Amino acid sequence: MKTILFPGQGAQYKGMGKELFGAYPDHTKNASEILGYSIEELCLDDPNNELKLTQFTQPALYVVNALGYLKKRDEEDNTIDFFIGHSLGEYNALLAAEAFDFETGLKLVQKRGVLMGKASGGGMAAVLGVKADDIKTILVDNGLTDIDLANYNTPTQTVISGTTESIKDSLKIFRENKMRCIPLNVSAAFHSRYMRDAQKEFAEFLKQFKFSGLTTPVIANATARPYKDEKLVTTLSDQIASSVLWTESIRYLMGRGEMEFVEIGRAVLTKMVTEITKTETPLIIEEEPEKEAKDEKIENEKEDTKKKVAVSSKKKKSVDKVEKKKKQSSKIGASATDGNGFFKASSLGNKDFCEEYGIKYAYLTGAMVRGIASKELVIRQGRAGLMSYFGAGGLSMSKIEESIQEIQSELSSGESYGLNLLCNLENPQKEQETVELYLKYNIRYVEAAAFMQMTPALVLYRLKGLKKDENGSVCCDNKILGKLSRPEVAESFMSPAPERVVKRLLEEGKITEEQAELSKSVPMSYDICIEADSGGHTDGGIPTVLVPSIMSLRKEMQQKYNYDRTIRIGQGGGIGTPEAAAAAFIMGVDFVLTGSINQCTVQGGISESVKNMLQDINVQDTEYAPAGDMFEIGARVQVLKKGVFFPVRANKLYQLYTNYNSLDELPEKTKAQLQDKYFKKSFDDIWHETKSYFEEKGYSDRLERADKSPKNKMSLVFQWYFRNSMKLAFNGDEEGRINYQVHTGPALGAFNQWVKGTELEDWRNRHVDEIAEKIMLGTAELLNKRYEAMNSCG
């Protein structure tokens, strides 16, 4: 496929069109007559130094672009699939698509140039090397809300537009933050709210012209979607005061298929396109005009059927509903049964794993902290013959105990469930108390996360479940799922409990001699879950790299310790579609584990406000930010980026922490920004709250360190923001929405795209057990199709 690009203002230069005016004398003559001056003289000689003025620049570029395209068309008789122009260049795109003739287009551009040329009192600047979302945050944080983002040229090049004074202020702020910002030599704030008067006048001017339907799609700057014939006038007039969505436009074109981009004139836009295609993902969008036509056809067919058979309204609605569900089920591959193919959902993964965990599929639902993996979620999975881990991390002991009691009262003895255990290096006593609670209630399945080494509490849990059966074999009643993303951590889980820890527990009387002895013959965990690019704490690992590596390690550890059974390996992180699950099973994993996709369900223990945001994200809408619980060591979590400022602000706080030694050292302007914009509280008020929080939690040692170290105190003040942002998200505080901290991975974006257009597009129709069913059945169906396709090629 091929797209022709037309450049806009800024691409002009003295001498442009030199080889074109003589080749197209009639067009050149007509242009000069319409404009009232020699277009050839303006472009080649510019005797009055007018080429840089908007009212002259725009007609000149339009003419040169038009002649340049004519030359290319005459020389190359190729099929063009799309046209697109940057700002002024959009008029050339519409001309090429035959919306109007050459003379009409020139009159439009001449009027546009005059209107924009007489505008004044504003300015523009290009910000380089900074993402657009970060620019927005900086502007909002500094009170520069009268500045608009005018041109989204590339992921690292954005043009801002606003009043002259605000643009000057922004230049200073960007430069203080060591960001490259270049003022543009323009007379007004183009492509912003300040052009609305010009937009209204131009809209009236357009009424005197008639436009033809487009013969080739043209991508509109204002929408990043193809022009619609019936909305051409509105879209064209809106362009003057709207942002140029260039990056999204190119991503849209990338999503149409393999695309060749050809620019008219010098390679101005080509450089932008190259950056976008190398760094951004294609934007896959269903064509609305086709969809509307299809829907209209369906409705007409329904009416015809209704007249012919005279069915009742009630019966027809029932039929339509069934048909809709059939279409939805077809899209997401959710058959009602396990099918008759070679692969079955119930046979994927490790059969022994399913039997040992008491589940029908080799599919687990992972824990999400603070009860996001709620007791309702755990109960629903258990009743469906599946299993989930309750998100106990971050909850009080009383809340965990209350949840355990409810889960146990709701599930029968044959229905499985587990709880998670987070490593707590800051407060190992909390970890110890959690394990003791689990032992008290005979919890048999634990998901161990964030462990870098085997702690006494985790070893205690494992060893308390060791015993011999009637045949003399070692039984491990307390099963640990080791969730990890590093081979060295996997090695710790695949090894027997550390001797020094076992010895200490034995000396303290917490385990028996037999348990200490049996610990030498079993690993800390027979079940390892490799966590790839997931929500929350993550190393951003790549499964196709991690899985083979840790499988090789498993072989080595099996041989080293001569275990009497095989360690099983599963994959979590990135599992949101049948395709992802199929890839994992093809690599040979014994089970899969989902996480982020379950947060955005009816059972997810997070606010409706957050779920509304999550159901609309795509794979690119997450970002890495510092982890509040491991702030000082620079650990990172993956969080929601779309619609919030949290990742930008959290990264800024960590940057300040690393660059300064105390709150007092911070620049005065930065102090004001943090207290007024980020926190909306004074440092003193935050410190008072922080002290109360740590005293209540029993972390007096942390307060003592802060009293001795100003840098540590600064860290605790900054960490308040992380706790508060999480609290805002859980409570669904709409006023604090821009500060929501929401842990999620890109798998949810992939899931959203998979279910788009079905009833599962709305989170209110998403239930964790039904999602599990659809993914596993869809995986089996997909593998069967691939298997049949390969056999047919044989």
- Is residue 603 within 8 Å of 498, Cβ to Cβ? no
Can you state the angle between helices 375-383 and 397-410, rounded to 10 degrees? 20
Element (H, E) at 305: helix 288-309
**Cα–Cα dist 667/80, whole Å:** 56
DSSP string, 105-136: HHHHHHHHHHHHHH--SEEEEEEESS-HHHHH
b/e 27-40 (16+ beta carbons within 10 angstroms → b): bbebbbebbeebbb
User: Is 743 noted as a catalytic residue in this protein?
Assistant: no
**Cα–Cα dist 219/79, whole Å:** 17
- Is residue 214 within 8 Å of 98, Cβ to Cβ? yes
Q: Write down the catalytic residue from 87, 403, 519, 725.
A: 87
- Is residue 86 within 8 Å of 224, Cβ to Cβ? no
- Is residue 147 within 8 Å of 79, Cβ to Cβ? no
3-state secondary structure of 329: helix
**Cα–Cα dist 126/132, whole Å:** 11
Radius of gyration of the chain (CA): 32
First-to-last alpha carbon distance for the chain, in angstroms, is: 32
**Cα–Cα dist 718/720, whole Å:** 5
3-state secondary structure of 5: strand
Using CA atoms, how far residue 168 sits from 144, 146, 184, 570, in Å, is 11, 12, 11, 55
**Cα–Cα dist 563/257, whole Å:** 51
Alpha helices in 310-350 (DSSP H): 313-331
3-state secondary structure of 87: coil
Using CA atoms, how far residue 718 sits from 417, 649, 654, 678, in Å, is 36, 10, 8, 10
Task: State whether the Cα torsion 740-745-746-751 is positive or negative.
Answer: negative
**Cα–Cα dist 152/150, whole Å:** 7
**Cα–Cα dist 469/455, whole Å:** 27
DSSP 498: P
Cα–Cα–Cα angle for 50, 237, 143, nearest 5°? 85
**Cα–Cα dist 148/140, whole Å:** 11
Q: Write down the catalytic residue from 86, 191, 743, 767.
A: 191
Residue 756's CB: how many other CB atoms inside 10 A? 14
**Cα–Cα dist 692/700, whole Å:** 10
**Cα–Cα dist 343/166, whole Å:** 63
Task: State whether the Cα torsion 503-504-505-509 is positive or negative.
Answer: positive
Cα–Cα–Cα angle for 314, 320, 326, nearest 5°? 140
User: Is 191 noted as a catalytic residue in this protein?
Assistant: yes
- Nearest in space to 186 (alpha carbons), one of 207, 167, 206, 211: 167
Both structure tokens of 10: 């800024």
b/e 258-283 (16+ beta carbons within 10 angstroms → b): ebebebbbeeebeebbebbeeebeeb
3-state secondary structure of 732: coil
DSSP 674: I
Hey, which residues are catalytic here? 87, 191
